[in-house]
Chains A and B, each alone.
Chain A
Amino acid sequence: MMGAEVRSDAMLELEAVKKSFGEGEARVEVLHGIDLRVRRGELVALVGPSGSGKSTLLNLIGLLDRATSGVLRVQGRDVAPLDDVALTKLRGEALGFVFQFHHLVPALSVVENVMMPAALKRGGFDAAMKARANALLEAVGLKGQGERLPRQLSGGMQQRVAVARALMNDPPLVLADEPTGNLDTQSSDQVFELLRERHRELGTAFVIVTHDPTLAARCERVVRLVDGRVVADGTPDEVLEDRRARKA
């Protein structure tokens, strides 16, 4: 009974998830059996040195890649048997993405970029969608910028557009890969505040991959990955060495 309750509360579950690349002697195992659960509405930072497997793990969680072995459940649903069409559908409905290099579609206007997840879900744009996209742009401080092209915005502004796009379908889980990685301190703060605001207001769960200990420290939970293994999982105070050192 207790297990069922825990499962229903889990947004994301990974059990002994492994991921390797290559074949035969060239085979390299990047993730060595990851166990991780993210509950609905959690704000989780995923930290670790370069090459520790953070981005690989994020791709698996984001259903952009498949695990070599182990179980991955999104909203309680095992994704292993799902075909590409079902994975795409689940990705569109349950997940939002913010990438390090914002990755907007340059051919589309800012508001079209924001509307895109909803348009992909419904097969086209409509007025209600545009109104919501404009409201999201206003929420991220980009009111009136909707008809511009991404290249006409600064890096920080583009990242805020990417955040608005990630929130367009109100996904229960947003995955962010170094969302503030190439932004200045002020833009970085603005973007993180946006994420935290949505987390607080809508209970959206976030998994944020970051190298930035300051940003990680502002999350509720920090998971440290080293050499493809989870070596620490707890509050920022428990996991981040510098904070522990400062406290000591």
Chain B
Amino acid sequence: MRLALHLAWRFLREGRAQSILILAGVTIGVAAYVFVSSIIASLQRDLLSRTLGTQAQIVVSPPEPEARALREDDTLIARRVEPPEPRRRPFDGWLRHVRALETTEGVSAVCPKVAGPALAGRGAAERAVLVVGADPSRLREIVDLASKMKDGAYRTGGDQALVGDGLADELGLRLGAPFRVTTDRGPTTLRVAGIFDSGAASLDDGWVVTSLRTAQTITGRPGDVTELDLRVDDVYEAESIAASIEARTGLEAVSWMERNRDLLTALKSQDQSSTMIRVFVMLAVAMGIASVLVVSVVQRRGQIGILRAIGASQRLVLGVFLLQGAIFGVIGALFGVALGAAFAKGLGNVTLFAIELEASILIGAASISLATGLVSALLPARRAARLDPAAAIRGDG
């Protein structure tokens, strides 16, 4: 091994220009791999956090009543079955469901919530809003508004409410300012305890967050909730957890994946295209290494023959050329990872999302580079090891 490494290094050093060129190729390939992987991973992370940061990962609600055809002794009486009229459905036994869901495997937080439409107004200005009522500490586990407070405090209770900066601008609301919230039950006056900027227009322009009790009063649902919002340990498990909740409880459970099919498709497409880019880049790298080593074997036929003649085994010759591939892989990985990371960090300064370098991407790139070096060296190495020494020395075999 030591001798094989020595010979491999000397061979690479002898063909310096060739070695530097292919090393540059491997470096650029690995850098492209790291760069593309980091950008895509960060972009996906950002998209997911923006999407899931403002909505529950699973929403559990009472089941929709099913429209059934009117029958009498197996005789269908109605000609057409109309869907039932929308009406308020009480969430029977929601507290029991909360306790059961809190112990469900994979579920990390449960927030009972009341949400209902209303009109928020101040003076003559009015805007359609969604009154959201929940325990603030539980709501924080689902939608972290506490960390996005622009003004005031994350505090609800009594007549205190949180509004988004969009709504505050529309209605001219400041901290402590009273405003009207009107539902079919009549108007209620709330006061602004805090203004948040979540980054999502639907929340910033349309949410009025109050305590659970206040929202129950405003929406006319005393003691009731409209839904249970859940957070899960693994966001990509949300769909299967939702399905198992539905099967177990008979409630309706909708995951973020079901609600955001387009986003999921976009994420998968990004994944696929980034995988294709990485595969083609590494294929190009592999072909580069292989072609250089094939040329190297041809150029060194005589030397290989002489080494075999003076006692070098086929295994040693195989090792010498495999190690050349490995050296390309290792050095290319070191430079490539550094270069790719630097590019990604540099781009992170000008993009709208933060680019984080994941250890798994860097280690993955380095491992793939080494594997590519070894695999692409395999064919030339076998060719070198199988050279007939007598023919190689004569220069004709």
Q: Which residues of A contact B (CB under 8 A)?
A: 55, 59, 62, 64-65, 84-85, 88-89, 91-93, 96-97, 99, 103-108, 112, 116-117, 119-121, 123-125, 165
Contact = CB atoms under 8 A, between A and B. Distances in A.
Contact of A120 (B302, B316, B394): B316
A107 B303 contact: yes
Interface stretch (B8-16, B69-77, B265-273): B8-16
Contact of A116 (B1, B11, B13, B310): B310
B307 A105 contact: yes
Given A64-B389, A103-B393, A107-B10, A121 B2 contact: no
The 5 closest A-B pairs by CB, nearest first: A92-B311, A107-B14, A64-B390, A120-B311, A107-B10
B314 interface: yes
Given A103-B306, A124-B3, A108 B10 contact: yes
B191 interface: no
B20 to A, nearest CB: 16
B308 interface: yes
B307 A116 contact: yes
Interface in B379-395: 388-390, 393-394
A13 B229 CA distance: 92
B309 interface: yes
A99 B14 contact: no
Contacts of A106: 14, 303
B259 interface: no
Interface of B: 1-3, 6-7, 10-11, 13-14, 302-303, 305-314, 316, 388-390, 393-394
Contacts of A97: 306, 309-310
Contacts of B389: 64
A89 B315 CA distance: 12
B2 A123 contact: yes
Contacts of B2: 123-124
A88 B308 contact: yes
B303 A88 contact: no
Given A105-B303, A107-B303, A65 B390 contact: yes
Given A105-B303, A120-B316, A165 B310 contact: yes
A26 to B, nearest CB: 16
A120 B14 contact: no
Nearest to A59: B390
B309 A91 contact: yes
Nearest to A103: B306
A139 to B, nearest CB: 19
B303 A123 contact: no
A112 B10 CA distance: 11
A92 B310 contact: yes
Contacts of A103: 302-303, 305-306, 393
B309 A64 contact: yes
B11, B312, B314 interface centre (most CB from chain A within 10 Å)? B312
Contacts of B305: 103
A121 B244 CA distance: 67
A107 B306 CA distance: 13
Contacts of B3: 119-120, 123-125
30 contacts: A62-B309, A64-B308, A64-B309, A64-B390, A65-B390, A88-B311, A88-B312, A88-B313, A89-B311, A91-B310, A93-B311, A103-B303, A103-B306, A103-B393, A106-B303, A107-B11, A107-B13, A108-B7, A108-B10, A112-B10, A116-B310, A117-B311, A119-B3, A120-B311, A120-B312, A120-B316, A121-B311, A123-B1, A124-B3, A165-B310
A200 to B, nearest CB: 24
A91 B389 CA distance: 12
Nearest to B389: A64
The CB with the most chain B CB atoms within 10 A, among A84, A107, A119, A120, is that of A107
A106 B16 CA distance: 13
A31 to B, nearest CB: 14
Nearest to A119: B3
Contacts of A107: 7, 10-11, 13-14, 303
A96 B390 CA distance: 15
Nearest to B1: A123
Nearest to B15: A107
Given A106-B14, A107-B14, 11 more contacts: A64-B389, A64-B390, A88-B312, A89-B311, A92-B310, A103-B303, A105-B10, A120-B310, A123-B3, A124-B3, A125-B3
B184 to A, nearest CB: 89
A85 B3 CA distance: 17
B396 to A, nearest CB: 11
A103 B302 CA distance: 7
A137 B313 CA distance: 26
A101 to B, nearest CB: 8
Nearest to A166: B310
Given A62-B309, A91-B309, A84 B390 contact: no
A166 to B, nearest CB: 8
A47 to B, nearest CB: 20
B310 A99 contact: no
Given A64-B309, A106-B303, A123-B3, A99 B393 contact: yes
Contacts of B308: 64, 88
Given A65-B390, A105-B306, A120-B3, A85 B10 contact: no
B9 to A, nearest CB: 9
A124 B309 contact: no
